Structure 1
């Protein structure tokens, strides 16, 4: 207590000196909001709270422009609110090697093997190596691979039965959708799914969200010894995270490894185990067990909430646009029919349905801000100096609703992604390039095709098998993204629907 009291009088002096020195050194920073010493705490705890950070950044962008700078104590941050600026900063050859790293943090050091993973990994040779292993693993077992497609169909059947069991009564779709996506993840990792595996995946993600809460992260980054103090929130949460982490890795890695057979690929874990053998030198693999485990945890962390909230946002949108829902149903009935369930490859011929998914990603912007990156050296960008170790926030929310790019940005219009023949715009088209939901540059999501296929399979199956109806009180959930809730990843508030079975499910 004496130490804390002693530090209080000198802390403002240290902060003022640090800020004066940094301000003097960097006189050519981008414009942005200026905070006084006494307003900084309010900014951190209120304006930059994760439930509304995208709205705060949108407000600042309107005041200061699509490239802005702000400073919290001695830490620099820039915000990119334009898709074109984000691509230039993060994906151009001129800048990408210096703008795609991660800051050293407690989570990366103590939870993720000293940042030797993908999501929390620092940009460099080690990070690039892990991405190549994940890419090779997904090629061996993932989107488009026949054995994966067959395994995924079992989860589609599970989803239909789960919703049939609601028997036209009001139900909250979120728990079912979340479990279905968890099942897809389990299938990706090991080729099968179960209630136990699904629960472990969901428990792990819930615990991850607790550990990335700003007050916990800030305290642990500054005072990592807090994890050793018994009875504190920090000690309890660190133990909880380690316990569920160990349980998940035991289920998905250790047990899979114990039954591994080199001639059979049951899932991504088997593919990684095979790569360990193929890329070994002198009896030692270039892909360590901890790195393989990190890929597993990254696959779970990067997939569950993003795909779940994407599906829920799409359901909210199509239920608020009857013409859109009717067009999707007609397209699905004509191209798939009722003799079989949808599969991933169907997306290529369902142009309007594909456009609905793209428009959902843009309109809802459920990944409202990309995970923060940082610069590794001083750079000159757009005529300004960006200091080393500056945090980079991509404001997806503003980029996806930029009136200079999108006609009627707050209107849900899937047709904007179709050409004059009603075909989906190619991936190279400028509008599709401006969708930032799966990241850009060296850190773009390698599971993009899988994520889109999971959203597609869920939506197409629901529409093929059921008439989606408002709840008994007749009130539809708003599809306006301004009403979304969440931290970091946002989505519609809890809502109820009914589902009338159309009678085409194959037993």
Structure 2
């Protein structure tokens, strides 16, 4: 029989054990301190301290006060924002954090991408890794191998040039011309041809993209995640969701299902045929393929959503900045004329001989930061970052806008100045230079944009070929809006204001 003394001893030991466990946990958590950040309110956290239309600017303000790693809360979600290229690299590229911080938080697009069978918003897994590597290698090789695809691309550049100058020295809004140019460019990449003007699916790319970015807007995405039944009901949220599904299916049919039906071995027309060939080869060898039909469709959707929007934003901002900085345009033209001339078309290999042109591109991506927050990451387990505890379940925002406009790093971050990336001899700074390390428009690590090589090469060729042909000047009959990224509209991805300009043909162009 247990005596009262035994009971007291057991209780004392149990209490001591519990005290020790909680003390150790407390000391462990205190020693691994949580990141600083603004104080929030019960239940809602910091939700009402943040303007969702300008969250990148709100977070930069928090970073200016609390440091490069901050913690805040949106209702029940713990959020970490990183405004240092070093911390972003450590979190997403280096062990051990990269092993547990590269998943994605839930969103309303899962069904759009057949249960996350794509790259951008999918969790990190074996198939995601394979799909990324496949896309990274295939897209650039398919397009830059020469032959028909490059010829078609050169033709589209010439058409863009003619569209810009067709008004004969009148004000032109370049936006719609660039959209047409890019939908043709991506069509060439995917299937090796552009669609005819009479084709009813000609504009389906932008139809899908425009709807997708409405769907992932925080206000729409939040409502559909919180109340999934809205997807099936009439009204704004259900309508957006169903329209996106319809546009997705149009793209899938025209650019995959029809393409697969007409596929012939030995005739590679574009990236979709490369996917089909890879799938058939694996099926023949093993009877199975990780590259399913739905994964190929997801790769197509990723190419549209990332490729078309990023190239569009860069080219549009490039034209606006050339209007504001004629001295930059003059120097850029001089380098184009010296290295490329006016008798041949530019090629991606020209970049290595054109440091100022590369500096112009880097400064556009830094200054504009038109995707201010990269796609959020999800941290699956507790991890330490620079002595701070990043708790399991936290959503991590890479704040590229804050990285690219840090006053300590850049000195004058709100000035557009390509020369910052050149040394005294006019050469491009080495890749390990602090400024080069802090330009990360395509993010870093395992989740960096797999199509960035393709995007960089197409942007370079388009910019230099336009500089061969035209001079970009401010409009005559309208005001040119400022290019200051602090004034950009709330639209996601972030965009500069719509504007008009004039395109003056250069003389003696024979290409």
Output the TM-score relative to the length of structure 2.
0.88
Contact 1:141/1:188, CA 8 A, preserved across alignment? yes
Larger radius of gyration: 2
Contact 1:160/1:461, CA 8 A, preserved across alignment? no
CA distance in 2, matches of 1:38, 1:224: 22
Answer with 140-149 or 161-170: which moved more.
Answer: 140-149
Q: Which consecutive unaligned segments of at least 5 residues does structure 2 have? A: 1-25
| 3-state SS of paired residue (1:106) | coil
Contact 1:467/1:500, CA 8 A, preserved across alignment? yes
Alignment of 1:323 onto 2:311: no
CA shift, 1:440, in A, is 0.4
Contact 1:188/1:267, CA 8 A, preserved across alignment? yes
CA 456–192 in structure 1, closer or farther in 2 if over 3 Å, else same: same
Contact 1:186/1:198, CA 8 A, preserved across alignment? no
2:414 aligned residue (392, 410, 414) = 410
CA distance in 1, matches of 2:253, 2:180: 20
CA offset digits 1:394-441 (Å, max 9, x no partner): 111111122222232222221122233323234454432321111100
Q: Give the corresponding residue for 1:15.
A: none
CA offset digits 1:108-157 (Å, max 9, x no partner): 2x211222210011012121121122134225413455554333212111
CA 93–283 in structure 1, closer or farther in 2 if over 3 Å, else same: same
CA shift, 1:346, in A, is 2.6
CA offset digits 1:270-321 (Å, max 9, x no partner): 1111111222244332210000110000110111221111112222222212
| 3-state SS of paired residue (1:425) | coil
Name the Cα RMSD after superposition. Answer: 2.3
CA distance in 2, matches of 1:473, 1:431: 39
CA offset digits 1:159-203 (Å, max 9, x no partner): 112112122111111111222222221111112223456511111
Q: Give the corresponding residue for 1:273.
A: 276
Q: Give the corresponding residue for 2:157.
A: 156
Contact 2:384/2:390, CA 8 A, preserved across alignment? yes
Alignment of 1:29 onto 2:7: no
CA shift, 1:457, in A, is 2.6
Answer with 199-208 or 219-228: which moved more.
Answer: 219-228
Q: Give the corresponding residue for 1:444.
A: 448
CA offset digits 1:75-121 (Å, max 9, x no partner): 1000001111111111112311111110133312x211222210011
Q: Give the corresponding residue for 1:240.
A: 243
CA distance in 1, matches of 2:498, 2:437: 31
CA shift, 1:341, in A, is 3.1
2:373 aligned residue (369, 394, 405) = 369
Q: Which consecutive unaligned segments of at least 5 residues does structure 1 have? A: 1-22
Contact 2:46/2:73, CA 8 A, preserved across alignment? no
CA distance in 1, matches of 2:342, 2:240: 48
Answer with 388-397 or 445-454: which moved more.
Answer: 445-454
Q: Give the corresponding residue for 1:125.
A: 126
Answer with 204-213 or 313-322: which moved more.
Answer: 313-322
| 3-state SS of paired residue (1:371) | coil
Contact 2:139/2:454, CA 8 A, preserved across alignment? no
Alignment of 1:79 onto 2:84: no
Contact 2:171/2:477, CA 8 A, preserved across alignment? no
CA distance in 1, matches of 2:480, 2:92: 39
CA distance in 2, matches of 1:224, 1:75: 18
| 3-state SS of paired residue (2:446) | helix
Superposed counterparts of 1:211-226, under 5 Å: 211-226=215-230
CA shift, 1:442, in A, is 0.3
CA distance in 1, matches of 2:172, 2:116: 41
Alignment of 1:208 onto 2:212: yes
Contact 1:101/1:374, CA 8 A, preserved across alignment? yes
User: In the comparison of the two structures, how many residue pairs are matched?
Assistant: 480
Q: Give the corresponding residue for 1:464.
A: 468
Output the TM-score relative to the length of structure 1.
0.89
